[in-house]
Amino acid sequence: MKRILVVDDEVGALALIGIMLDRGGFEVVKAQNAAQALDVLERETPDLIILDIMMPGTDGIELCSIIRGMPRFAETPILILSARSDSDSVIRSMEAGATGYLPKPILHHDLVSKVRSMLNLSAVER
């Protein structure tokens, strides 16, 4: 089972994304801010990382840059999932090393399909 780290400061969004991914057949690890995410990454190696942009302190784009600077995660897919869908946010995310970008609100099918695609999984693989 593929493990995904989800980082979002909104507890409701974190729970909803977790449920969607769980139902999609993924194991989910959650963090509510950059510090928690970096703590998780010291102990675990997720197959994919999902980041929200708007978080207090270190935002998702900065966190993406930090993660990309860690050799262990240089090739780990990073998906930005954010309410901000302006072109500047998308461009900044990609420049920071994001692999993909999805605007919120997100539908279950769209999220699971994007994650499967980024992990190169077929619809039947888990």
- State pTM to two decimals: 0.94
- Which residue in 40, 1, 39, 41 sits closest to 21, CA to CA? 1
Per CATH, which fold does 3-118 belong to?
Rossmann fold (3.40.50)
Q: What is the DSSP secondary structure assignment for residue 83, as one 8-state letter?
A: S
CA distance 38 to 58: 11
The ranges assigned to domains in the chain are 3-118
Q: What is the pLDDT of residues 12-49, one digit of tens each?
A: 999 999 999 999 999 999 999 999 999 999 999 999 99
pLDDT at 122: 53
Place of tokens 């954010």: 82
Confidence at residue 85, expressed as pLDDT on a 0 to 100 scale: 80
Residue 125 pLDDT > 70, yes or no?
no
* Residues 62-116: tens digit of each pLDDT: 999 999 999 999 999 999 998 888 899 999 999 999 999 999 889 999 999 999 9
